[in-house]
């Protein structure tokens, strides 16, 4: 018979696993259906979705652990699941930081700078490092017996008996969140400056017959090329950019709520039960991406609605393979 805490945690992990796998699969599918979603930022979002699906799948093993199964095969699985969970959660944290950096460069820098930094080769390198770095560090801790992988005090499959590992993970999470906060702060300052320029142009347009071309640079979320905003209609591109950035900040706040408790627990507590609850909150992050993008991101929302209604023909700028299928039918 499971204890009360184990029952609560098992139910929570089951819900998180179901939402994480289905929601991120839905998110990835949306990108494959729409050409409008094919950009560098969403490439990182897709990779983040893949990482979250892997992590959500490991939660099934956590549910079995909380249910009290202790066979030899399961104990071996538990030893393997711990490092996998740590690796993908670490990769997700790094990718979240890369998404913020991508948005920062896309909005505030010149187009050639963005293309140089986020070339295909560099993106592949960034994604590879995001997974390889936490994997190598995890394996090093295991190899030098600085941490133990397996069942922690009859609760969940994770790392334990490693104060150094806990401290390192807690500090890294806080540092990554700080970097993301700084990047989004710079984005908001940049957008606020451009909004003021647009308002100034609007006021002057009432007193002049013809408004000469201005040099306010705007970048669209659905493409990496710059556009010029010289009229109110074109200025709506910047408004769209602001809405999308606000959504990114909402994602940041949600992830901070998930990450900070885990970080504080790693740094200041040795309680396995408290760690299990904070680990559950930490894993909530795997469910947030599709929810936040689905409700807040304008392009994702349009594609999601078409998917829900099973009207893929209404998707704006459908993928080439989807367009061909529609033409044949």
Q: Backbone phi, then psi, for 174, in 5-degree steps?
A: -65, -40
Residue 211: pLDDT band with limits 50, 70, 90: very low
Half-sphere exposure of 239 (CA within 13 A, CB side): 8
Residue 162 has pLDDT above 60, yes or no: yes
Residue 222: pLDDT band with limits 50, 70, 90: very low
How far is it between the farthest Cα atoms of the chain? 82
**Is the whole model's pTM more than 0.85, yes or no?**
no
Q: What is the pLDDT of residues 275-305, one digit of tens each?
A: 889 999 988 888 887 777 666 778 888 899 9
Retrieve residue 312's tokens: 């893929």
Q: Backbone phi, then psi, for 53, in 5-degree steps?
A: -65, -45
Q: What is the DSSP letter of 318?
A: B
Task: List the domain range (segments joined by +) for residue 250.
Answer: 4-328
Q: Specify the residue for token string 């993928």.
A: 319
**CATH number where 184 lies:** 1.20.1070.10
Residue 209 has pLDDT above 90, yes or no: no
Nearest to 167 by CA among 279, 270, 278, 271: 270
The CA–CA distances, whole Å, from 135 to 80, 139, 151 equal 12, 6, 19
| H or E segment and range at residue 175 | helix 163-205
- The number of domains in the chain is 1
Half-sphere exposure of 192 (CA within 13 A, CB side): 7
CA separation for the pair 313, 306 (Å, rounded): 8
Q: Backbone phi, then psi, for 314, in 5-degree steps?
A: -90, 0
Q: Backbone phi, then psi, for 269, in 5-degree steps?
A: -135, 145
Nearest to 42 by CA among 319, 329, 328, 327: 319
Residue 227: pLDDT band with limits 50, 70, 90: very low
Residue 113 has pLDDT above 90, yes or no: yes
Q: Are 32 and 315 in contact (CB under 8 A)?
A: no
Q: What is the pLDDT of residues 13-44, one digit of tens each?
A: 999 999 999 999 999 999 999 999 999 989 99
How much of the chain, in percent, has pLDDT values that exceed 90? 36
């Amino acid at each position: 018979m499971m204890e009360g805490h184990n029952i609560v945690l098992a139910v929570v992990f089951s819900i998180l696993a179901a939402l994480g796998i289905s929601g991120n699969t839905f998110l990835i599918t949306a990108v494959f259906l729409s050409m409008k979603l094919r950009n560098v930022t969403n490439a990182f979002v897709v990779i983040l979705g893949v990482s979250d699906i892997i992590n959500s799948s490991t939660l099934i093993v956590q549910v079995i652990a909380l249910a009290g199964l202790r066979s030899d095969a399961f104990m071996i699985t538990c030893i393997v699941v711990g490092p996998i969970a740590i690796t993908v959660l670490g990769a997700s944290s790094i990718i979240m930081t890369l998404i913020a950096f991508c948005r920062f460069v896309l909005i505030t820098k010149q187009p050639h700078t963005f293309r140089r930094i986020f070339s295909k080769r560099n993106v592949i390198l960034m994604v590879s490092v995001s997974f390889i770095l936490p994997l190598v560090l995890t394996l090093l801790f295991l190899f030098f017996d600085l941490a133990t992988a397996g069942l922690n005090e009859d609760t969940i499959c994770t790392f334990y008996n490693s104060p150094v590992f806990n401290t390192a993970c807690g500090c890294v999470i806080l540092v990554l969140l700080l970097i993301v906060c700084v990047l989004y702060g710079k984005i908001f300052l940049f957008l606020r400056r451009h909004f003021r320029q647009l308002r100034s142009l609007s006021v002057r347009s009432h007193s002049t017959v013809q408004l000469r071309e201005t040099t306010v640079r705007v970048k669209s979320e659905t493409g990496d090329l710059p556009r010029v905003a010289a009229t109110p209609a074109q200025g709506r591109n910047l408004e769209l950019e602001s809405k999308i950035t606000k959504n990114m900040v909402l994602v940041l706040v949600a992830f901070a709520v998930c990450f900070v408790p885990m970080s504080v627990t790693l740094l200041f507590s040795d309680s396995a039960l408290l760690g299990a609850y904070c680990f559950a909150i930490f894993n909530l992050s795997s469910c947030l991406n599709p929810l936040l993008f689905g409700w807040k991101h304008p392009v994702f929302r349009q594609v999601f609605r078409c998917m829900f209604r099973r009207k893929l023909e209404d998707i704006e700028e459908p993928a080439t393979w989807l367009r061909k299928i529609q033409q044949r039918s």
